[in-house]
């Protein structure tokens, strides 16, 4: 892990000297990495259940003020830069990718709440700075890539909405205290009918069911949210009615760069494991690294990791510009494909050991395959990139004309 810290510090000299960084690295090294192979979660009676080590990690992160990094100072946090959050996600990707996704979902919920009213921010953000987790709920059975097809209905009755319907594949199910939920608040269908509502975990009629066990990302609680006449105050709408899809798409753009960072950290972990294995493993009295074919494959792996990281840093530099949506999609597309490719090659290089269910490389590879589905599949990223390119060149053509 020290090598990865040095690499990240080289991109932003002085980063590792920041107050929270040393404590964060210590927590990952001493508590998260040793527990990676057995740290999982399950949903029981609507709540996420973890091994006892989870409580130790969360307590340590609270003590290190990690949760405060996502929240502005005026609400009890010490909001840091996008680069710092990205570095944290790379380190989490190296240590526990599923835990990284827990904090991506948490961060996106905070991003949405930060666009709310002052009353909403005063009510929820200080709690989240103290360690109460958030989640963002968009996906439904018939509304995955097509978020405009959301059918979860929120009907206005007196001074609240009655929410009915379901969400599925929601990260932080049963773990979050605050859910930012995309729902239809108008009788018409389509994107302009959608709004974001803040739903607290103890809302009447709101329950959470488990889903079948995932192949990887075991620590990430992923479930189905069920709403049956769940009352949500009118004051819990974030932003204007009918503008919810635009609001959520904006924060998802920000989440893609963090998923890409997790991919880079995970890929570096896989690279490190296969490099040391190839150096130790001998055939015909020579280490595997003495083979030109193996050394070329390892060189290719490392180059692809840095290529993905380069796209991530380009996107970070374009944060806040009109080019950020396309650059964050490019970073996520390349990084998620890169980590799957490296994981597949690593398993082959490991031989039969790489096929054993409980072997570390197999577990890391299962995590790598899960990255494809987060914040939009590869085809969704290609669609976004193409759309942004068409918009950019159409604008250029009009200016020329």
200-236 pLDDT, tens digit each: 999 999 999 999 999 999 999 999 999 999 999 999 9
List of domains in the chain: 2-129 (1.10.540.10), 134-240 (2.40.110.10), 246-400 (1.20.140.10)
DSSP letter at 167 equals: E
DSSP letter at 236 equals: G
36-73 pLDDT, tens digit each: 999 999 999 999 999 999 999 999 999 999 999 999 99
Q: How far apart are CA 79 and CA 69, in angstroms?
A: 5
**Nearest in space to 329 (alpha carbons), one of 72, 145, 171:** 145
Q: What's the distance, Cα to Cα, between the start and end of the chain in Å?
A: 54
285-327 pLDDT, tens digit each: 677 766 778 888 889 999 999 999 999 999 999 998 989 999 9
DSSP letter at 203 equals: -
Question: Which residues, 6+ apart, have CB-to-CB distance to 213 below 8 Å?
Answer: none
Backbone φ and ψ for 384, nearest 5 degrees, come out as -65, -45
Active site residues: 375
Residue 169: helix, strand or coil by DSSP? strand
Question: Which residues, 6+ apart, have CB-to-CB distance to 123 below 8 Å?
Answer: none
**Nearest in space to 89 (alpha carbons), one of 261, 211, 238:** 261
Rounded to 10 deg, the angle between the 244-280 and 292-317 helix axes is 150
> Which pTM value belongs to this model?
0.93
By DSSP bridging, strand 134-137 and strand 178-184 are: parallel
pLDDT of the chain along its 401 residues, tens only?
A: 888 999 898 888 889 888 889 999 999 999 999 999 999 999 999 999 999 999 999 999 999 999 999 999 999 999 888 999 999 999 999 999 999 999 999 999 999 999 999 999 999 999 999 999 999 999 998 876 666 688 899 999 988 999 999 999 999 999 999 999 999 998 777 778 899 999 999 999 999 999 999 999 999 999 999 999 999 999 999 999 999 999 998 898 888 999 999 999 999 999 999 988 877 776 656 777 667 788 888 899 999 999 999 999 999 999 989 899 999 999 999 999 999 999 999 998 888 777 787 889 999 999 999 999 888 889 999 999 999 999 887 766 666 55
Q: How far apart are CA 21 and CA 78, in angstroms?
A: 13
């Amino acid at each position: 892990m020290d090598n990865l810290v040095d690499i990240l510090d080289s991109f932003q000299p002085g980063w590792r000297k920041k107050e929270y960084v040393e404590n964060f690295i210590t927590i990952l090294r001493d508590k998260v990495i040793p527990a990676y192979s057995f740290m999982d979660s399950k949903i029981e009676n609507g709540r996420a259940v973890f091994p006892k080590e989870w409580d130790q990690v969360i307590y340590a992160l609270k003590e290190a003020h990690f949760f405060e990094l996502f929240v502005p100072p005026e609400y009890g946090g010490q909001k840091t830069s996008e680069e710092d959050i990205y570095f944290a996600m790379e380190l989490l990707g190296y240590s526990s990718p599923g835990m990284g996704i827990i904090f991506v979902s948490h961060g996106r919920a905070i991003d949405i709440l930060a666009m709310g009213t002052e009353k909403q921010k005063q009510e929820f953000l200080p709690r989240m700075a103290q360690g109460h987790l958030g989640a963002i709920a968009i996906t439904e059975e018939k509304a995955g890539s097509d978020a405009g097809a959301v059918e979860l209905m929120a009907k206005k009755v007196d001074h609240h909405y009655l929410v009915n319907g379901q969400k599925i594949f929601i990260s932080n199910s049963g773990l979050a205290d605050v859910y930012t939920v995309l729902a239809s608040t108008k009788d018409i269908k389509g994107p302009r009918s959608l709004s974001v509502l803040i739903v607290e975990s103890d809302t009447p009629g709101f329950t959470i069911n488990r889903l079948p066990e995932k192949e990887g990302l075991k620590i990430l609680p992923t479930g189905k949210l069920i709403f049956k006449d769940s009352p949500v105050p009118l004051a819990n709408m974030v932003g204007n009615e009918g503008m919810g899809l635009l609001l959520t798409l904006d924060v998802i753009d920000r989440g893609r760069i963090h998923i890409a960072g997790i991919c880079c950290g995970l890929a570096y972990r896989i690279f490190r494991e296969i490099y040391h294995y190839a150096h130790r493993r001998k055939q015909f009295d020579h280490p595997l690294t003495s083979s030109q074919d193996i050394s070329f494959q390892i060189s290719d792996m490392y180059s692809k990791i840095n290529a993905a990281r380069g796209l991530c840093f380009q996107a970070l530099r374009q944060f806040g510009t009109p080019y950020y949506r396309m650059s964050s999609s490019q970073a996520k597309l390349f990084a998620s494909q890169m980590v799957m490719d490296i994981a597949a090659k690593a398993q082959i290089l490991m031989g039969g050991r790489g096929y054993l269910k409980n072997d570390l490389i197999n577990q890391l590879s299962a995590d790598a395959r899960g990255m494809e589905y987060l914040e939009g599949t590869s085809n969704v990223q290609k669609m976004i990139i193409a759309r942004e390119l068409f918009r950019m060149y159409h604008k250029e053509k009009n200016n020329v004309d």
